[in-house]
Amino acid sequence: MNPRRDFLQKLAASAVTLPFLPLYASSVRSDLFYNKPYDGPVLRVAIMGLGSYGTRVAEAMQSCKRARLVGVISGTPSKIKDWQAKYNIPAKNCYNYENYDSIKDNPDIDAVYVITPNALHHEGVLRVAAAGKHAICEKPMAINAREGKEMVDACRKANVKLLVGYRMHFEPNTLEIIRMRNEGEFGDIMFFQGLSGFRIGDPGQWRLDKDLAGGGALMDIGIYAINGARYMVGEEPVWVTAQETKTDPVKFREGVDETIQFQLGFPGGAVASCLSTYNMNNLDRFFLNGEKGFAELQPSTGYGPIKGRTHKGELTKPHVTHQTVQMDEMAGIILEGKKPEVPVDGAEGVKDLTIIDAIYRACETGKKQELEL
C-alpha cells in the first residue's frame, strides 16, 4: 500500500478545478520581453503533480522564453503518457513518487515545480533539495511555519533555490500600485481590505481534508489576502486578531475552516480587515487607502485579466498569462540572480505561514496574537 500514490492517482482522475476565471491566452504582448528574440539561458523544469493547476502551468510555459517544461513526476502512468505526447517529454525525464530521488542523476533537469496537495509540499521539496535541484513550490508553501522553515533550511544546506508560486508578485497592475505607494502617491497608508473567497463544490475533494490541506479556506484562498496585505501596505504586520464562522460543520469538518475574518496591524499605523471563505462567491477584491489617494483591484488575484483603478484613473497595464510571466521571472531569479520587486523566496512563504499559524491561534483563543516576522 502507498497512500500517497493512491491518493494522487485518485486526485488526477477526479481533476478537481478551482472556480477562478478561465485561462486566458496571452492577450496583449506589448511587453518588450515578449516582442523580441531571446538568446539567453533557459531553466529546464519538471512538474510534480499533473492535476488541474499543473496543467495550467504547463500550458502557460509553452509561451515562456526563459523556462521550458522538460520533465514530469506523477503517480498516474496514463497522465505521464499523455503529457509525454503533448509536450514532447522524453521517457528519461519521467518519474513517479517512488523513484524521483534519482532525478539527481539527470543533468537535463534544473528545477522541480511541486504542485501537489499542501501537506505533500514539505516532503516533495526536501527530496528535491536532497537531489540537488532547485525547488519551486506552490502556495501555501507548507501547512505551518515549522515545516516551511525546515524546507528553507534544507534548500540552503543543499545550495539550491526555493521559490514559492506567488504569481501576483509579477502582475503589472499590482506592481504599478506598489510603485505608486513607494513614490508616495498615496501618502501615508491607513487601511487595506482584502476579500478572498468562493463557494467550494465537491465535499469529498482534498481541499476539505485537513490531513491534506492543512486547514480550509485560509490555506487555499485566504493566503492571497494575507500576502496582499503585506505587499500592498508595504510593511510587515505586528499583530493579528481573527474570528471564525462555520455554518456547515458537516461539509467543513473539525480543522477545516469555512469563513475567517482577520485583522492585521502594521507598525506605521495602518490596519487591514480581511475575509477568507469557502462559502461566498464574488469575493476577489483588494482596496488600499492612503492620506492622498486610493487603489482598488477587482479582480485582484484571479487568473486575469486583473482590473483596477486608483484616484488617478484606471489601471491599464497589459495582461500576459500570469504563470508564463511567473516562470520566466523565476528562471531569471535562478539562472541570473534577478531580484524581484516583491520577494518570492522561501522566507516570504514562511512569513505567510507564520501569520496563518497566528490566525488559527487567534480563532481558538479569542486573543490578539503578536507577530514577529
pLDDT higher than 60, residue 19: no
- Kindly name the residue from 79, 133, 139, 351 that is annotated as catalytic: 139
139 assigned to active site = yes
Angstrom distance (rounded) from CA 197 to CA 26: 25
For residue range 176-221, list pLDDT tens digits in order.
999 999 999 999 999 999 999 999 999 999 999 999 999 999 999 9
- Kindly name the residue from 224, 231, 303, 360 that is annotated as catalytic: 224
Angstrom distance (rounded) from CA 282 to CA 306: 14
Domain covering 168-317+346-370 assigned CATH 3.30.360.10 in the classification: yes
* Residue 38 grid cell: 531571446
Domain ranges of the chain: 3-167, 168-317+346-370
224 assigned to active site = yes
Asked if residue 133 lies in contact with residue 110, where contact means CB atoms within 8 angstroms, the answer is yes
Structure-model confidence comparison of residues 155 and 36, the more confident one? 155
pLDDT higher than 90, residue 116: yes
pTM for the model stands at 0.92
Q: Which CATH superfamily is domain 3-167 in?
A: NAD(P)-binding Rossmann-like Domain (3.40.50.720)
Secondary structure (3-state) at 105: helix
pLDDT higher than 80, residue 343: yes
pLDDT of the residue at 18: 39
Angstrom distance (rounded) from CA 358 to CA 279: 22
For residue range 125-147, list pLDDT tens digits in order.
999 999 999 999 999 999 999 99
Dihedral, CA atoms, 233, 153, 48, 326, nearest 10 degrees?
Answer: 30
Asked if residue 259 lies in contact with residue 278, where contact means CB atoms within 8 angstroms, the answer is yes
Angstrom distance (rounded) from CA 177 to CA 315: 9
For residue range 64-78, list pLDDT tens digits in order.
999 999 999 999 999
Asked if residue 136 lies in contact with residue 165, where contact means CB atoms within 8 angstroms, the answer is yes
Residues 6+ apart with CB under 8 A from 113: 45, 46, 47, 48, 54, 57, 136, 137, 138, 165
Cis-peptide into 107, omega within 30 deg? no
Specify burial of residue 5 (Cβ count, 10 A radius: 0-12, 13-18, 19+). Answer: middle
Mean pLDDT of the chain: 93
Residues 231-260 have a mean pLDDT of: 98
